[in-house]
Each structure stands twice: as structure tokens, then as C-alpha cells.
Structure 1
Amino acid sequence: MTEASTPQRAEKSSYHHFIPQFILKNFGYKYRPLTKVEMRQKAKQGIYPGNILGKGICLTGPDAALVDTKISRTFGVQDLYADAANSTDKEHIEKLLSGLERSASKIIALVRSRHDDGEKLIVLDRAEKDVLRKFLFIMKYRRPNVRDKYACSIEDFDGAEKDELQKYMRQKGFQRPLDVWLNNIKAMLEIKIDAGCKWEKVLMQKAYPPDAAEFIVHTRLFYLSFCSPSDENDEFLMTENSYGIHEGPRSTMVDPNSGRVVATFHTEYHTFAHITPNLTMVLRSFLLHSPVDVSGEDIGKSLEMLREFNISKHDFPERATSFLKDLPVAKARNSYTRMVNGRVVPYQEDEAWPTSLILFKTERSARSALEHYLTLDPLSTSHGLKLIFPTETLREAYFRNLEGAVRLLNGNVSAAYRFDDGTLEGVLTRDEDQLFDLVSQNDEVLQAYYKISNKEALDRDDFKQSREMLKQRIKTDARTKGRDEEFRGKARKDLIHQYWERPPQQLWIYLKRQRYLMHGGTILGLRSDVHDYPLPAGLLPGPEDVIARMSEIFHASHLSRMMYFATMNHIKFSDPEFGVFKELNLDDEGARRLKEERGVVFGPQGSICDCGILPIEIMAKKTQASFHEAGMTTLDTRPLDPGLKSVLDGVLDSKKRFEMATRVTSKALWMDVLKDDIFNVLFNIIFPVFLFTPRKEIMKHNWAA
């Protein structure tokens, strides 16, 4: 790179804090000398009236000493970015970091103020939470011990990932490991965290993947709390490594070559970052129980298996626990759900009536809110929404006035409400829906709906929307009939991608309708209405129920996609005429089946590295990276039947071989960790192993179990 031969201009030396000054000042005091003699003595140390000082215990000498230290020169290093190649990047990073610190300081000041006022509940919005998470990780990643790890040549780099880092540097054109570290900070500061988590893929591309993965884990698998000492006389102490220090077991071994003690595995249960002497931020791992953990039995068992799996990686598993496991911190609650019988359900309040005035800012928002409220199905909730008692004639007039208000706002809607005897008035009608009744009569399937929807009763509007979704899917096929298959496939794909953005329970119902459609139970009538023949209850449960019941382990942006491919792949695998269902002969019929099987196994569901379950994704990516680095996979060393090997060599390119080997390894790794039903759906249906998974394994499951 040209930087090596181009003379560098002299850069101004700078002092960089690895613990922000706005935090350190909370541990300090403004210096006011008591005597002139004291003032002269302090001046010799560079300390003057008005400086912010901190009381400290100095441990650098042979004996400890009590000292006063200037906050402006405490917990920092001179020229943190020295020896990094690009001075422009350094200036850009400092500018970004300054902006992040300003944002974080405002949030932290608000938290501190409310804590000082005695408030027990701190309310943050999603954006504020994301700012704090990014801030905490950047502070942790800028610590001297992390910087020192990279402050060397690649030849002198001391770490298990040396070969991987060297390969990455060659690919990206970096000269020194320190340049990689600096680029990682830049990428992390620049990334915009979105609710759909699209930022994760962007970060994995822009930063060194192992460190990017750490940032993702820090953001996804820990929840933020604030703690203060139970005794008001106690205080938190600040040390050089306390900002981002973690609590958890660390297993080690002695390197036979160097004789040094090196870490082999560690678990972070808690990460701490103090705000004031009596207030700290705590990031707590999802591996530990939360006092208000709302996970269902299935999720609870899966989490317990993950905890045991993590503990088993340590040298002394019985000691690999958290001594702060009973810390009284809980997952933050959002503002739009509550707890009912141990399950999270949405708040649905009906406190707007009576009122003489509704204040609003924009007409569009007001119209949208009123339309949603007025059309909400009263049968979908047991909270008493829009319930009218026989004597409440004014309540009915109130709804009529709201209808008029919507018209004034350029809308048009008819109110749906109910009387206390259960009858419906106005335009609300209850469509005959066999699927609604089937779901309501099957407890296992019903629980899956509750879990995925966060509702405590079936919502008829969800079923209505799913009928419309099926109608549009059928119409798409009819509208594109006669066009080439590529055009039709794109039309279907675009529609399904839209469906993935809808509430997941609506897609879940749609998938059940799709299964009935494939078995001839549903048709589209002459007036484009969906009509059902008698629907057999046996076809109601499916693999989508397994994912719905385990929805908490999937990231929200992947949930609908995984349900979709679980159901659609299973429908195909259920057809004895599809793919490699029976013994394969390599004739024309066999070639057709082989092509069908490959099209599903390596289909649009993508890679196991993108399955939506973060621990599996991370380990799968590491596995696949090791295969790429070695240039071979377990398929190359595994003894295979010559006929099968010939088939694999003929139909799998290198990309598919790497993916298949990653699935084989991942399947073996997670076999004893995941519960049977989710393991079967994940590794035998969504991401099966080509020609290695007997079809009977895929078909044997009782989905309602």
C-alpha cells in the first residue's frame, strides 16, 4: 500500500481516555486549596484550583499510596492510535466517537437524574438502548489490553486466529493488525442499528468477522439493566479495566511451547460499566435466568440445554457458574405489552371514552388511529373493548361521532362494537371460517398462535387477512399464467417477501391454508372468494407450529422466513413422487428426482449460517470459515459409498459442498443440545443434508406433540 512509502506529516500528540471523562467526573470533585502552601505544592504537580480531581489508590510503587489524580489525565493513554496507517481515519473515528459520547452522555445523565430522584423504573426507547449498547462495546473494544493485542506485526501476533487474521489482512490490503483494529472501530461507529437487524450483515462485511460477531453477540444476547448498591453507604470502585469488565468463568491451559498460561474458553455472564459511585450499567447474559422470564416450557428447556452446553466447554463444569446468578435484575419490559398468566400479551386499553376532546398533531396519524380502533374486532379480545351495555345509548352515539370524525379526516369507516349479551351490531359480521374453529379446538396449535401473536385470544382479523393472502397468491398464479417460469417465479417470490413483513401469526395461518390448498381442501370461487371443503383436523398441525412455539430463539427478522420454508419444504417432502423419497435409480426419472431434491436442499432458504438462531449462526460461520481456509471439508475425508460419492461429485459445486459440510458438522454439534422437534425442523426440513437424510426421519414427527 502507498502509505508505506509516503512520508507522513508530523501529527499532534493526543491523550485518549478509554473511560470517558463525563463518567470519570462523577467520581471526582472540584479542587479548592485550603492554604497557599497547599496550592503551591499542587501546582508543582500540575494541579490548579478548579481542576477536577479524583481520590485514588496508587499501586505502581512498592507500597500503595493515596493520591489525588487529575481526571483529565486518568484512565487514558497517550496516542492510542499511534502506528496506525491512515491519519484521516483517526480524525474521522474521533469525530464519530465524540458524537457517540455526546448521545450516550445525554441518556446517562437522564438515567442518573431519575435515579437520584428515587425513581425505580427507567424508561428508554429502542434508539436510546441501542446507543448505550454501542457505546459500551466501543469503550470495551478501545481498552488498552485489546489495542495491545493488535499493536504488533502479523508475524508477532499472538492469538489462535493468527492465520485467519493474516488471510483477512491480505484480502483487505491491511499492512498491520492495528489497522484492522482501527477499521473495526470505524465500522462499528458508522453502523446504523436497525430494528430488523439488517445492520449485522453489513457489519460482518465491513469489519473483521470474529470481532464483528462479538459486537453482534454483545447487542443480541445480553439485556441491559441499571443497578445500585443495596446499602446506600456502599460505592462502586473504578479501575482501569472496570469499564467493560465481565464476570464469568475462564478456562486456561499452559502453552507447551512458550510456557505461558493461555485462555481456552470463557463465558461472559455479566458486563459492567459504572456511571457514578452508586449507579452502574449491567449487561446480563441470556444464559442466566431472569426474574420475569416469560419463556414457555419449550424455550426454557432449550435455554437450559444451551446453558449446560456452555458450561460443559469449561475444564471444571461444576464451577463454571455465575456467582451473581441471583442478581436482582430483570429484562426490560416494553411499553406495549403486559403479563397475563405468565405470558406476554399486548395492552389493549379502552380508556378513551368518555372524552370531550381528542388532541392530535397530524390528520393522517389521527385518521389511522381512529380507523384502527373503530374496525378492531370486539371478538378478538376479552378486555371489554367497545362493549356497550343496554342502557349506554350515549356510548353508541359516541361511536357514530367517531365515524363522522374519520370522514372529516378524509376517511370512511364503520364502527364494530358489541353489546353485553354477545350479539353484534352495525356492519360487523362473523364469517364462517373452519380454520378458526379448528385452531380453537386444538390446544397445542392454539398455544402456538398465542406465542407467536402475543395475543390472549384468537383474532378473527388475522384469519381474514390470511384468506386474503391466499387469494392473492392464487391470483398471482392465474395472472402470470402463460408467462415464462422465471417471470412467474419472481412474481411469487416478490409476493411472499411481502408476506414475511406482515404480522407473523397471519403468515402462520396462511401456511396452514396453503397446506389445505395443496390437499384440495380450498378453492377460489367465481367471485374470487376463498371457499373451504370440510377440512380434516389431521392436516392442521405442521412444522410452522414448532417454530412458533420456539419463536423466542429466532430473531424476529428471520421468524416468518423460517416458518415459510419449514412448511413449504415439508409439503414437498410429503409427496412420495417428489425428490429422493425412495431408492434412487440414475435413469431419467432418477435424474428428475435428484434435481428436485437438490433444488429444495439448496433452495432459497439459503445457508444454515443465516438460520436466525444466533448461537448456531456463529458456530456455523466459524465452521464454514475453517473449511474455506483448509480448502477441504469433512466430505473429502469421510468414507462414502462409491456410488454416492459419484453422485455428489457430479451435482455439487464447491459452494454447495462447503454448505453441506457445514450442515453435517452443525447437525452433529447441536444434536444433543436442541429439543427433538426443533432439531428435526431445522436440520431435516429447512436445512437438510443432501442424500444423507432418510425421508422417514423427516416424515416421522407428530407436530402436535
Structure 2
Amino acid sequence: MSHPKPNVMAPAASNGQYQHFVPQFLLKNFAHRVPKAPKGPKGTPKPKYEKGMFPGDLVISSLDLTQEAAVFTEKPVSRILGQINMYDDFTKPNGEQRHVEKLLSKLEAQAAHIFTKITKAYEAKEGGVVLSRDERNLIRKFLFLMKYRSHRFHTRFFHERPDAYSENDRELLREYMDEHPQFQTPMQVWLHNIKTIIELDMDPELNWVRELPKKMYQDDAMWFFTHVQGCYMALCVPSEAENEFILADNSYSVHEGPNKYARDIKSNKEGALGYVELHTFAPVSPKIMVVLRSLILPQPLEDQSPAIKEQRDYTRSLVLDPYGPVNGILADLPVRKAENSYSEIVNGRLVFQEGYDGRRGKDDKFRFPFFPIESQHVNIINSIFLDNCLRCTSLVYNSKQAFARTLEWYLTAPPLEIGKILTGEDKEDRLKTLKKLEAVSRSLGSEKAALWVMPTLPPTLQDHEKIRLRHLERHREYKKALVNDERKPDDEAFFKSIKELHALTRGLSEADASFLDDYELLGGSYDTIEKDIDQVVRMKILRIKIDSWSNGIDEGIRQRNRELLVSEYLRLPSHRLWFYIQSERDMVMNHEGIDLLSPQMDWPGMPERAIVHGIQQIEDLAKSTDLLSMAIVVDVTLRNADPTLNSQFKPPERLELIVRSTCREMFATIMEPERIKHNLSRQVIEDLEKVLFTLVYPTPP
């Protein structure tokens, strides 16, 4: 479908309105008032002041990063961290162009009331603040929009034509615009998404989860859901009086968590393969930082329940295993979930209050403590902002001394621990920014040199574009499921794309996506994988519970219980048992969990893989016409040589024994290709022979 070419460009700045992407009510928490100029001798000319810089006006101290050399400056609260006509839609009539800006102003006023409650509670040393469910939800909505309404996203969507939008989801956005011809520009989609989220009624029953993807661009609706439901909010404050948080253009947009980069062999370009948001941030003042912490990280109170801990560990392994043994640099941040009005702590465990019916209500209350954090954590959070300030215009601070300390800490911290790993297409620009900050640090009295790492040989990838297209296919399926109220997309092609995607993201060929190949070989498919994963988690939990419940009784009885449970598990479908065996093996090898959708490449030797493929080859051999013909000839020969065989075994039994014996003799030859393919030792093959022909198919020598 062709789209007209509307004019989305703003009018001249002289006719425009300065619109903040960081609201003034937050900026004021970092501001101070312009002091009165001292009186000079009689007849001294009155000092000249710029607009917004008169005595008593609120101003912001900041480091201006827009110059070749960064400079310290003061700016009015009204003229920093914003831009002209940022949220105006100039394809609309004059009276409607600033509709979204007005909605944002209304939301900011509501959020300001709640944040004022937080800052006043901190100043009064109350130890925490109580918010209603509605207040908490409004803050969560506001914090997502602080990320989504940022300068970065304005730049992302600010195009006159759909084909000018060039981000990774470009095909999805263009498809969405084709389906909704009222949107002529990507900018209109962005503004509509902001409006939809502002007006969203986040009802306690979570009906909005099903409705939101039908009302806006589905990819960003899914992102909003993940942001709101996939983490919890904590209020952090410095434990030492001299420490302070800083504020940058993108402080509300950056995250802490593992990233994965690679160089595409085809294009010779470096790019991100994926990332995980373990923590995101929202500076409230120099002394208060909202931290949104992922629910996959450990929670000591909830994890007192073995079932909950097992589920959380399993989920974390699924998410983080592709990035190596990482939990993030803020994993030890001393925070926890807010307390609520419908649960309590009894004997160190979190339990629901008596009479609670399990329903969420608007009258529910949540108490958010102020968590004191030490210098290390304050510096890490500030360093995350500094490490991502390449496209920023300003670094806002309250005390220059506190800013100098945290800047020096960032520049001199070990790169592999805190960032400063310069990769990707913009690595030269990042190095330039790093040296700019180093010059600032020296001007503030530091004599230390900045440390950084620029890898010379990043990991390579066969085809980054193929990964991107696989991701698009995945999102299309989820969009179809969400919009049509389906529980999950029902498409076998989607299952196959998951295999290829996981193989590619690990830098492997498609043929090496072997784990799910084995799963399919055992009868698994897209239709069974969701239930199998769920059931394996339950199987592991039951296994743990049986051990926990029988703690203290005779060890022989406990072992018998384990064996009985395993016997029952052996009755399950082989593809489900396959998942369980993989999971149990990883637990024995001291892993936290298992990535069920990736090949297990780190452990030398995979005998269970050889069993899967070996059994198939043995069965194919046993069913072959040539072997059966040979077995019949051998049977006749044996009966003639030893007539007593007729009385001991029936004809089918004799044939069965002959076939098994022949397969056992040929086993080593059959398994040699599998041994080489899976890097198995000859000892493993010998052990497999004993298992197969002693336990599975009992066979005489």
C-alpha cells in the first residue's frame, strides 16, 4: 500500500514550544536557586541576567557534552533535557497538534504528586513510603513512558515515510501501518502508542494485558507488559552522606545486564545479538533512585519455598545461559520486593494473611522501604549512565565534588567488571567520549588515567540478517496469538524457527541445533514442547519435595522412594523424559538449571545423544530384510546343530536372540560415526553397549 507524504517536520524553533523528555518536577529535585548578586558601590550598573537565570530562579548544574570539549554550565530548569515541539503531530489540524503533550502534562502532574510523597517521606526519615495499587501502577506506567518518550525514541520514529524507518523491526512496523492506514508516518504510530498507554486502565484483574495489543503497535505493547510485569520496584538511597546520583538524558532508558555482540561475516559489521535487562533506573533526586529489578534474580524471602526457588532458578537459566555464567554486576544489590497488605512474614516465610481470597484489589497497599546502598553500588549505577552517554547532551549533578568522585571511579574501574568495553560500529565515537570525560576528570583534580578495553577480534556470526528475520517471525506469531486471543501461536514452522534462531545466536550452523533435533526424533514437536517444559519443572519440584519431606528417616527408605519415582517417570513420553534427563544431569554438574532450547555444548561427551541416535540405528538394522533373512538361516543351522533349542525357545524367541546377538556384535561399527560426531570416548561406547544389551535389550554374549 502506498502512503502519502505528509509533512511531519516542526515549524521554526522561534514558533515552537520547548517540551521536556525529563519532566520539570524531577529536574527541580536536582536544581538550586540563583543567588542574589552582591551589591556593588553606588552607581555600579545593574547585572544583566538571561531569561530563567534571575536571582531566585531554579537552575541546573550540568556538564555540557555537545561541545568538542565538555564544559560545566548552568541552565534554567525550563531549558534542559527537552527539545522544541518534540511531541507535536504536524499532520493534524492546529488545535490537535499538541494533544499528546497535554496528556503527558496531565500524567506528569499525577506522577509528581506520588513522587512528592516519596521525597517527603525520605526527608522526614520515615524509612519508607506506602502506595496504593493504583499509585504503584501509575508509577510503573510513568517509568515505562520515561523510557519510551525519550529523545532516542523520538529520533527512532521521526520520519515522513514508513520506508525511512530503518530499525530492526522495520518490516513489522510497516505491516502494522499497512493494516492501519490512518497512520501515515512512523511518528504518528509513536504518538498513538504514547496516548494509548497514558489512557490505559490497568485494572487489578489484568484484563488490560489482553486488550492493549489490540489498541496499539503490538511489538511495543508486548514490551510494555514485560516492563511492568517482569520486574519489581525498589527505592535506593546512598548510605554515605557525601554520595549522590547523577542524571543524564537517557538515565531512564539504559539498563544493566549482559549483552552479546558479534561481527557479521557477510557484512563485516559488528552488532548486538541480544541483551537482558536485569535492572533499569529512574533518578528521582540526587538522593533517591528507583531501581526496577528483574523477577528472575534471587529473592531470599520468596525463595524459602523450594518450589518457587526451583521455578525462578530454572527461568533464570533459560534467560541467562546463552550469555555465560552471569548474574549481572548489581546482583548483590540489597533490595527486595515491597511489603503488601495481604501477606505477612511467619517464621521467615512469606504467607498470605488468613482470609485472603487471592484477588487483587485497588485498595491493596504496598510499603516501599528506602534501601541504603553503599558507595560501590552508587558508583556502579552512575557508571552505567556514564558508560551510555555517547548520544547525551548533558550530565546533571548536584554537588561537583560528588560528581568528581563518581566520575573518577568510573574511569579507573576495571573495564571487564563495569563496562568500558568498546565494541560495535560506534566504538571509535565511544572512545572519543571516554577521553572527553577523562579530560573533565583531570580538570577536577584527578591524576588517574582512564581504563578501557577494545576487543580486536569480536566473535563472528555467519548471518546476522537471518537472526533478525527469525526474530521477526517469532514476533509475528506472538502478535497473531495476542490479537486473536489465542493462548499460543499454533504453527509448526515457528517451532523450527526457534531451533534455527538458537543455533545462529550461538554462532553455530543450523545443522548444530541438535538438541531439539533429538527432541523431535523422540516424538516431540511444537505442540508438545510447552507442556513438556512445564511438566519437567514440576517433576524436578516433586523430586526435591520428596527428599525434603523424608529428611531424617532411614536413608534406605529415602533411596527406595527416589527409585520408585524414577520408575514412574520412565512411563512418561520419551521426549518429556529426555528433557528431564538433561535437566537432572545439569543439576549433578552443579549448574543452576538448563537452557532447554539450546545444545549443551560445554560438557565433553553426550552419551544420551548417542543413545537416541544409536537406538534408531540399531532398530533400523534389526528391522532390515537382510538381517532377518540371515537370522532365519542362523536359526535353522543352530537347530540342526543343537535340537534341544526347540524345547527351550519358541521360534520367535530364537529369532529375537539371534537378532540381538548380531546387533551386539555390530554395535561398535554402528556407533563409530556417532562417537566421532559427539566426541565420545571408546569407554563411553563400551558403557553404552553394556546398558543397551544388558538392561535395555538383555542379550547373551
TM-score of the superposition, structure 2-length normalised?
0.50
CA contact (8 A) 1:302 1:673 kept: no
- What are the within-5 Å matches in structure 2 for residues 47-126 of structure 1? 47-81=53-87, 85-86=91-92, 90-126=97-133
Aligned pair partner of 1:187 in 178, 190, 196: 196
CA–CA distance in structure 2, aligned partners of residues 636 and 283 of structure 1: 32
Partner of 1:634: 492
Letter in 2 for 1:32: P
How big is the shift at 1:46? 6.1
Partner of 1:665: 526
Aligned pair partner of 1:250 in 244, 259, 266: 259
- What are the within-5 Å matches in structure 2 for residues 344-493 of structure 1? 344-347=350-353
Give a deviation string over 1:230-280, Cα, whole Å, max 9, x none: 211100001111124321122223456765543221111111111111111
CA–CA distance in structure 2, aligned partners of residues 46 and 635 of structure 1: 60
CA–CA distance in structure 1, aligned partners of residues 254 and 494 of structure 2: 43
Letter in 1 for 2:208: W
How big is the shift at 1:135? 0.7
Partner of 2:293: 284
How big is the shift at 1:675? 3.1
Aligned pairs, how many?
Answer: 399
Partner of 2:35: 32
Aligned pair partner of 2:346 in 332, 340, 348: 340
Aligned CA distance change for structure 1 residues 3 and 626 (closer, same or farther; 3 Å): closer
CA contact (8 A) 1:84 1:179 kept: no
Partner of 2:157: 150
CA–CA distance in structure 2, aligned partners of residues 86 and 679 of structure 1: 58
CA–CA distance in structure 2, aligned partners of residues 195 and 29 of structure 1: 40
Partner of 1:22: 25
How big is the shift at 1:156? 2.8
CA contact (8 A) 2:87 2:101 kept: no
How big is the shift at 1:295? 5.9
CA contact (8 A) 2:100 2:194 kept: yes
Is 1:208 matched up with 2:66? no
CA–CA distance in structure 2, aligned partners of residues 47 and 240 of structure 1: 21
How big is the shift at 1:70? 1.2
How big is the shift at 1:223? 0.7
Letter in 2 for 1:59: L
The runs of 5 or more residues in structure 1 that have no matched partner are 349-375, 377-451, 455-499, 503-617, 639-662, 682-693
Aligned CA distance change for structure 1 residues 156 and 28 (closer, same or farther; 3 Å): same
Partner of 1:383: none
Partner of 1:675: 536
- What are the within-5 Å matches in structure 2 for residues 201-350 of structure 1? 201-255=210-264, 260-294=269-303, 296-314=305-323, 317-318=324-325, 320-347=326-353
CA–CA distance in structure 1, aligned partners of residues 31 and 482 of structure 2: 52
CA–CA distance in structure 2, aligned partners of residues 122 and 285 of structure 1: 21
Aligned CA distance change for structure 1 residues 257 and 86 (closer, same or farther; 3 Å): farther
Letter in 2 for 1:101: E
Give a deviation string over 1:88-111, Cα, whole Å, max 9, x none: 654332222122111111111111
How big is the shift at 1:83? 5.9
How big is the shift at 1:74? 0.7
CA contact (8 A) 1:294 1:344 kept: no
Letter in 1 for 2:167: G
CA–CA distance in structure 2, aligned partners of residues 145 and 246 of structure 1: 14
How big is the shift at 1:665? 3.3
CA–CA distance in structure 2, aligned partners of residues 55 and 39 of structure 1: 27
Give a deviation string over 1:114-173, Cα, whole Å, max 9, x none: 111111132111011001001111111011111211123332322222111111110011
Letter in 2 for 1:180: V
Aligned pair partner of 1:13 in 13, 16, 38: 16
- What are the within-5 Å matches in structure 2 for residues 150-169 of structure 1? 150-152=157-159, 153-169=161-177
- 3-state SS, counterpart of residue 25 of structure 1: helix
TM-score of the superposition, structure 1-length normalised?
0.50
CA–CA distance in structure 1, aligned partners of residues 286 and 195 of structure 2: 31
Aligned CA distance change for structure 1 residues 2 and 621 (closer, same or farther; 3 Å): closer
Aligned CA distance change for structure 1 residues 206 and 270 (closer, same or farther; 3 Å): same
- 3-state SS, counterpart of residue 43 of structure 1: coil
Give a deviation string over 1:326-375, Cα, whole Å, max 9, x none: 11111011123211234433445xxxxxxxxxxxxxxxxxxxxxxxxxxx
CA–CA distance in structure 2, aligned partners of residues 204 and 695 of structure 1: 41
CA–CA distance in structure 2, aligned partners of residues 259 and 86 of structure 1: 43
CA–CA distance in structure 2, aligned partners of residues 233 and 43 of structure 1: 32
How big is the shift at 1:676? 4.3
- 3-state SS, counterpart of residue 135 of structure 1: helix
Question: Greater Rg, structure 1 or structure 2?
Answer: 2
CA contact (8 A) 1:294 1:342 kept: no
The runs of 5 or more residues in structure 2 that have no matched partner are 362-471, 484-488, 497-523, 543-569, 578-701
- 3-state SS, counterpart of residue 91 of structure 2: coil
Give a deviation string over 1:32-64, Cα, whole Å, max 9, x none: 232478996662576322321111122222333
Calculate the aligned-residue CA RMSD, in Å.
4.2
How big is the shift at 1:27? 0.5
CA–CA distance in structure 1, aligned partners of residues 251 and 51 of structure 2: 26
CA–CA distance in structure 2, aligned partners of residues 129 and 149 of structure 1: 29
- 3-state SS, counterpart of residue 238 of structure 2: coil
Aligned CA distance change for structure 1 residues 625 and 64 (closer, same or farther; 3 Å): closer
Percent identity of the aligned residues?
A: 29
- 3-state SS, counterpart of residue 173 of structure 2: helix
Letter in 1 for 2:536: K
CA contact (8 A) 2:34 2:57 kept: yes
Letter in 2 for 1:665: Y
Aligned CA distance change for structure 1 residues 628 and 52 (closer, same or farther; 3 Å): closer
Give a deviation string over 1:471-504, Cα, whole Å, max 9, x none: xxxxxxxxxxxxxxxxxxxxxxxxxxxxx999xx
CA contact (8 A) 1:224 1:283 kept: yes
Aligned CA distance change for structure 1 residues 673 and 311 (closer, same or farther; 3 Å): farther
Aligned CA distance change for structure 1 residues 154 and 670 (closer, same or farther; 3 Å): farther
- 3-state SS, counterpart of residue 301 of structure 2: coil
Aligned pair partner of 2:184 in 175, 197, 214: 175
Give a deviation string over 1:200-248, Cα, whole Å, max 9, x none: 2221111111101111111111111111012111000011111243211
CA–CA distance in structure 2, aligned partners of residues 63 and 27 of structure 1: 24
CA–CA distance in structure 1, aligned partners of residues 296 and 188 of structure 2: 34
- 3-state SS, counterpart of residue 275 of structure 1: strand
Letter in 2 for 1:86: K
